[in-house]
């Protein structure tokens, strides 16, 4: 399979000699990632070695879910949530919930502690047949525990305890944790969050694949995309080049990376990138702060800062070269817009902003998705960024796969409870 994404680092403003100076560190990072000696690197070979039986079970559970419900509520937070939501929104668009659809629609819960949010969701579910997919590796995270308890009560009230148990799908640790114990006691269908894959690298495990399969997307298409990315020498060199570039810019005081897109459906993909990079690199007093902006909307609020504000950031532009639709601007819009393709105008915005920012000396990386968004291309994109992020963190001298700082606030919060 041909890889359909391409990175262009020519606008990052880096000198070839500087790039060469990082080659040894980059070689070491690549060797480390593929050494089979590092913890939590199970995702690296996953697209080749994944369990075919598990994929069959995911497909079969997805078929059952499609017969059982019109709404699948996916309960999870952080790495147990963002990947599925990012990919779902990229594949289904901004108004998926309002459109008629044969497959179950995904709703998300357990990613906040808002009573209002969960009450509103329960009201929406009153007019739908629903199932729950609860995802938590530890089984003890506060947000999904609260949401699961609330929604399970609603499920039991609607369908009775036995039928409710048939409508709950749990994705958790293979043997540990309260969710595993409950699932076994109550007879929920379960899938495993692999031990050697951390939350933010888990999209291509049941954590992402089961909800996406239930929404009608074949799990093996994501995995085949990821496999193609891993086997594509040129693309993996680009991942390494991007990791090198990020580290060089960081050393030059560019401590913020802004992920930007001109298509609204990328908003949650940027959220996934923020967790991936933020949690992988932000430790030991180091790390590039990942931020995101949606253009052209945010140009009208942040455009001034980007052009003339503190030069502490670089930009990473996610470009969809073949959006799923186009429209022609009617004559009533007047010159110079009338008669033009909306996509062409959006592209003119992108090129215009890139030119203006280049004049202001802002370093930029550009990623082009050369074909329409599909599960295969998203498998490639996910694998590309996971690889680049791990390499970048190694080069920065931090462990890409732990998150020691997350415990601190959780401990304080527990004390207050």
| Binding site residues, ligand PA5, CB under 6 A | 77-80, 136-138, 141, 144, 198-200, 279, 403
Distance CA 76, CA 79 (A): 8
Contact predicate 268/86, CB 8 Å: yes
- What is the C-alpha separation between 123 and 191, in angstroms, rounded? 28
Q: Which is nearer to ligand PA5, 259 or 295 (CB)?
A: 259
Residue 242: closest CA among 400, 8, 43, 13: 8
- Closest approach of Cβ 171 to ligand PA5, in Å? 9
CA–CA dist 336, 352 (Å, integer): 15
Q: Measuring CA to CA, which residue among 366, 386, 390, 372 is closest to residue 208? A: 386
Closest approach of ligand PA5 to the CB of residue 403, in Å: 5
Q: What crossing angle do the helices spanning 206-214 and 52-68 adopt, rounded to 10°?
A: 40
Q: How far apart are CA 209 and CA 220, in angstroms?
A: 9
Angle at 234 between CA 229 and CA 236, to 5 degrees: 50
Which helix (H) or strand (E) element contains residue 376?
helix 375-396
Tokens of 100: 């008629």
Structure token pair of residue 21: 């100076």
Whole-number minimum distance, CB 411 to ligand PA5, in Å? 14
Closest contact distance (angstroms) between CB of 394 and ligand PA5 is 18
357 is a catalytic site residue:
no
C-alpha torsion sign, points 298, 299, 300, 304 = positive
Which is closer to ligand PA5, CB of 272 or CB of 295? 272
Residue closer to ligand PA5 by CB (options 198, 230) is 198
Give me the least distance between CB of 284 and ligand PA5, in Å please: 17
Distance CA 151, CA 148 (A): 5
Comparing CB distances to ligand PA5, the nearer of 200 and 265 is 200
CB of residue 220 to ligand PA5, shortest distance in Å: 24
Determine whether 118 is an active site residue: no
- 133 phi, psi to nearest 5 deg: -120, 105
Q: Specify whether 300 is catalytic.
A: yes
Identify the residue whose tokens are 């298409």. 221
Q: How far is the CB of 209 from ligand PA5 (least distance, A)?
A: 15
For ligand PA5, give the closer residue by CB, 279 or 281.
279
Contacts of 177 (CB under 8 A, 6+ apart): 136, 137, 138, 139, 140
- The catalytic residue among 89, 271, 279, 386 is 279
Give the span between the Cα atoms of 138 and 178, in whole angstroms: 8
Describe the strand order of the beta sheet including 105-109 as a list of residue ranges: 105-109, 71-75, 130-136, 168-172, 189-192
CA dist 181 and 187 (Å) reads 10
**CB-based burial, 335-355: b 16+ in 10 Å, e otherwise:** eeeeeeeebeebeeebeebbe
Residue with tokens 């802002």: 362
Identity of the residue, 279 or 320, whose beta carbon is nearer to ligand PA5 in the bound complex = 279
Smallest separation (angstroms) from ligand PA5 to the CB of 136: 3
Of the candidates 24, 123, 300, 407, the residue annotated as catalytic is 300
> Which of the residues are catalytic?
279, 300, 410
């Amino acid at each position: 399979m041909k890889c359909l994404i391409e990175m262009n680092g020519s606008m990052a403003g880096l000198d070839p000699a500087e790039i060469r100076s990082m080659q040894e560190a980059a070689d070491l990072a690549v060797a480390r990632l593929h050494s089979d000696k590092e913890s939590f690197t199970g995702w690296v070979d996953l697209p080749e070695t994944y369990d075919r039986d598990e994929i069959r079970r995911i497909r079969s559970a997805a078929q059952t879910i499609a017969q059982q419900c019109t709404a699948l509520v996916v309960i999870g937070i952080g790495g147990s949530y963002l990947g599925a939501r990012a990919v779902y929104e990229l594949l289904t668009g901004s108004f998926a919930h309002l459109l008629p659809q044969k497959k179950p629609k995904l709703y998300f819960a357990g990613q906040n502690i808002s009573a209002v949010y969960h009450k509103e969701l329960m009201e929406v579910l009153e007019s739908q047949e629903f199932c729950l997919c609860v995802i938590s590796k530890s089984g003890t995270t506060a947000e999904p525990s609260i949401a699961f308890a609330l929604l399970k009560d609603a499920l039991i009230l609607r369908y009775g305890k036995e039928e409710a148990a048939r409508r709950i799908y749990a994705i958790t640790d293979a043997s540990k944790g309260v969710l595993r114990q409950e699932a076994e006691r109550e007879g929920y269908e379960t899938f495993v969050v692999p031990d050697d894959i951390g939350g933010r690298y888990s999209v291509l495990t049941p954590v992402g694949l089961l909800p996406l399969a239930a929404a009608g997307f074949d799990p093996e298409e994501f995995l085949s995309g990821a496999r193609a990315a891993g086997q594509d020498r040129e693309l993996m060199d680009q991942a390494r080049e991007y990791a090198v570039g990020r580290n060089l810019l960081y050393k030059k005081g560019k401590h913020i990376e802004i992920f930007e897109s001109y298509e609204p459906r990328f908003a949650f993909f940027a959220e996934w990138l923020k967790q991936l990079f933020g949690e992988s690199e932000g430790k030991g007093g180091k790390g590039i702060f990942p931020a995101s902006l949606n253009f052209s909307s945010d140009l009208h609020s942040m455009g001034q800062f980007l052009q003339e504000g503190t030069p502490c950031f670089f930009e990473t532009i996610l470009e969809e070269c073949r959006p799923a639709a186009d429209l022609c601007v009617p004559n009533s819009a007047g010159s110079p817009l009338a008669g033009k393709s909306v996509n062409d105008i959006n592209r003119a915005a992108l090129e215009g902003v890139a030119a203006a920012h280049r004049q202001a000396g802002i370093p930029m990386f550009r990623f082009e998705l050369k074909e329409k968004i599909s599960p295969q291309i998203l498998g490639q994109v996910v694998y590309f960024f996971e690889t680049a992020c791990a390499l970048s963190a190694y080069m920065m001298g931090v462990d890409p796969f732990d998150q020691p700082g997350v415990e601190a606030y959780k401990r304080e919060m527990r004390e207050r409870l």
